[in-house]
Structure 1
């Protein structure tokens, strides 16, 4: 498949920056560079290829680690000097093992102050929720006849809300039973259905965490 690159502005080294974004969660995963050849191979194979400025060679992202990036779409900005590549990411995008290369906190919104915002590791609650959210979005679009997630979206908002209510009640009962294991089990069901509800409204887990972080950063934690 040939593509028209006449509107793209490669730099004097024949390169153009490519921002890689998760197609399901919209999380920015990495920044790399493409030249004409790597862009063509990306389109041809359906997986990301980049130009390594340090090694001066083409590289297929994930070919060694198995953390491949299946391309969903490629677009360019208003000036034609940057690409946005949306991908279905397998595993971690960063060579450090983080899902995203952008894991070093520099500044966080909150009255103009620098705040310590530790990045959760891959086993953190955010990593689990982000992965669950990706699965929910995938199942919504590609789930088969036996997919419960697909079934919920097909039934619509009322069904999803009913399940959130049911799981809330079951969590309350588990708590009243003073059963730690029951609370864990029922709360897990509740969280899953809440994540489905978020996906229904197009809200990502990151948006909730941002809201919680904003409340935490308020002076004297007044929101709490």
Structure 2
């Protein structure tokens, strides 16, 4: 229930069920950790270095880490308020704030996501800043970006209610179907926009109607 460790070094740890109320570790180094079920209310770690972590179910209410370095993390279901990972592969992730360099998720629900490379099938994000995004279905209620730079964006279906962007710079954009109710952009530069003729005509009609 309660663990207080100043220094912990484990080469291999296999736990079927672990329930910790409070864990305080200054330095933890684990090579391989296999946990089926882990439930922690509060975890405070200054330095954590894990090479490979595989967890089926992890639920953490609050995690405070100053420095966390995880090379590969495989989680089927993860619910975290704040996560800092370089490489994360999750089937379902629900995070309020996630800062990842590379994320591959099938379904992600994030309020604020800052990712350099994201591959998601279904993404529900209130605020997203990504350099490269490949999504099959994206539904965003409100997207507020001061500066958005996407080199390549491939979306089959995108539905946005309100989008406010000051500067949008896209080199290549390929969208099969895009439906936006209101879009306010001060500056938009797209080199190669490729859209079907029907969608292109619908967009032109919408623009003319808004002008009238």
Q: Give your verdict on TM over 0.5.
A: no
Range of TM-score over shorter length: under 0.3
TM-score where L is the length of structure 1: 0.23
TM-score where L is the length of structure 2: 0.23
More helix per residue:
1
More strand per residue:
2
